[in-house]
A = this chain, B = another copy of it.
Amino acid sequence: MAIDYDLVLEELKKEAGPLAKIFLDKAMDALEIKDLNDSNYKDVLDVLKMNPTLKKYVEAVEKRLNGI
């Protein structure tokens, strides 16, 4: 299964709720990433993990996505 925006968003929402979309979009915007894929999603998760509020949620998502 390939990683895309919808999948990452769905996994983030499971952990952190609907507001996750705002932070996902901000992180992508900061990196000038228009769409998520296997090669760039880790950078976006790294940015999200630098937000102390989100760190633990993102780590849980990361573990699941790394197993895909």
Which residues of A are in contact with B by a Cβ distance under 8 Å?
23, 26-27, 29-32, 43, 46-48, 50-51, 53
Please list 19 pairs of residues, one from A and one from B, whose beta carbons are closer than 8 Å in the complex, sorted by A's number: A23-B30, A26-B26, A26-B29, A26-B30, A27-B30, A29-B30, A30-B30, A30-B47, A30-B48, A30-B51, A31-B47, A31-B50, A31-B51, A32-B51, A32-B53, A43-B50, A46-B50, A47-B47, A47-B50
Number of identical protomers: 2
Identity of the chain B residue whose Cβ is nearest the Cβ of A43 in the assembled complex: B50
Nearest-CB distance from A25 to chain B (Å)?
Answer: 9
Q: Would you give the shortest CB distance from A21 to chain B, in whole angstroms?
A: 13
Q: Which of A30, A43, A47, A48: most chain B Cβ within 10 A? A: A30
